[in-house]
Amino acid sequence: MILSRRLRKSPYEKRAIENGASFFSLYNKMTLPMVYESYEKSYEHLCKHVQLWDVACQRQVEIVGPDALRLTELITPRDISKCAVGQCLYAPLCDEYGGIINDPIILRLAEDRFWLSIADSDVCLWVKGIAYGRGFDVKVFEPDVSPLAIQGPKADDLMADVVGAHTRDIRFFWFIDETVAGTPVKIARSGWSGKGGFEVYLQDSSRGEELWDLFWGVGQKYNVGPGAPNLIERIETGLKSYGADMTIDTNPIEAALECYIDIDKEAEYMCRDALVSVREKGESRRLVNLFIDGEDMAPMRSDWPVLSENGAKVGFVTSKVWSLKYETNIAFAMIDAPHIRPGTRVTIDAEGDVRSAVVRTDRWEST
Ligand code: THG
């Protein structure tokens, strides 16, 4: 890929490349370093040590002003009134049909000020349109904020050494304001892995290398390494990726995100009627976990049909990886409702590589 000026540059990009980032993805028109050495090596390191991840592509959409809460409530079925200042909530954003526009982490910075820490889709323009159309008294824009994730079991020790022992007390999905490397940041206990850690929201992109170097230097005694959202770890942990596992064609019930929505919340929101209707009728399909038989498979670059026992197409695979923990291929698939019962046998057609698979619950361990 050509890293032209048109692809926005992360303040950590130079460090990522110096440390051997070899494959990138595109995310919110920015590069996202994905692979150092290999997914497998990086996975093993992440499970034992601590990593710095350049996730500056998780852009922030700021909503600020007297109508900020009303607007934020309007675009999500999650109950934002329950989000305290200093707290984060994972919340799908949905259009009037219930289609998922994005699945950000929402940070409440003040009573009337929010950041949507977005996945890969154009949220800012959509929210600006709604704000203008409804005549809301808010400002919606993308501030200069670049998250750096510190992930892995030694993240707490590293953060305590760099910032102070009080960071050990940050609760899961809460954040604090700090000054690090002479620059203001927010530090949240969050991140796209199940191995624990923090996300540091840098608020001045000219200071990225200083921030990286500080954690890198102190992190030497914890065997710090470069890292990235890891395909193996995230599927094992059950984290869904917008664009792959859900799109604007998916509603949050189908996407198995029920625990992150409150259909009966008090505030007005755009997709209420759509979700009430899905709840009444029952969803027609659902995102499930699959174990796929056999050896490792080629990476996915297209939809792989899921077939029922009589050969009819009943869905498609959305993500898959060879799991080092379960020593089999694990996958998410969107499957028609009659076939989602755990234990159901299905067939996967991976571009001619035909495999048998079994539906699991949303946990890998139980059947
Ligand atoms: N960090 C930040 N922004 C992001 C992501 C991130 N934006 C895009 C994408 N990742 C959003 N996806 C998720 C999905 C799940 C979680 C975090 C980001 C997650 N969920 C917890 C859980 O399921 O247990 C807690 C959810 C809650 O309590 O609200 O961690 O990684 N900045």
Question: Residues with beta carbon inside 6 Å of ligand 1?
Answer: 58, 89-90, 103-105, 117-119, 147, 173, 190-192, 199, 239
Angle subtended at Cα 138 by Cα 135 and Cα 140, rounded to the nearest 5 degrees: 110
Asked if 205 and 345 sit in the same domain, the reply is no
Which amino acid residue places its CA nearest to atom 9 of ligand 1? Answer: 119
Expressed in angstroms and rounded, the spacing between residue 68 Cα and the centre of ligand 1 is 21
- Whether 230 is in a domain gets the answer yes
| Beta carbons within 8 Å of 310's beta carbon, 6+ residues apart | none
Angle subtended at Cα 323 by Cα 253 and Cα 315, rounded to the nearest 5 degrees: 40
Number of domains in the chain: 2
Q: What residue ranges of the chain have pLDDT lower than 70?
A: 366-367
State the pLDDT at residue 361.
79
Asked if 203 and 320 sit in the same domain, the reply is no
Asked if 219 and 335 sit in the same domain, the reply is no
Rounded distance, CA 103 to CA 93, Å? 6
- Whether 126 is in a domain gets the answer no
Expressed in angstroms and rounded, the spacing between residue 343 Cα and the centre of ligand 1 is 29
- Whether 76 is in a domain gets the answer no
Asked if 191 and 303 sit in the same domain, the reply is no
Expressed in angstroms and rounded, the spacing between residue 88 Cα and the centre of ligand 1 is 9
* DSSP code, position 285: E
At 332, which CATH number? Answer: 2.40.30.110
- Closest CA relative to residue 237, chosen from 197, 187, 199: 197
At 197, which CATH number? Answer: 3.30.1360.120
pLDDT, tens only, 32-81: 999 999 999 999 999 999 999 999 999 999 999 999 999 999 999 999 99
- Domain containing residue 315: 284-362
Asked if 178 and 305 sit in the same domain, the reply is no
- Final residue of a domain: which of 178, 204, 235? 235
State the pLDDT at residue 77.
98
Asked if 230 and 291 sit in the same domain, the reply is no
State the pLDDT at residue 366.
66
Asked if 301 and 203 sit in the same domain, the reply is no
- Whether 185 is in a domain gets the answer yes
Which amino acid residue places its CA nearest to atom 25 of ligand 1? Answer: 90
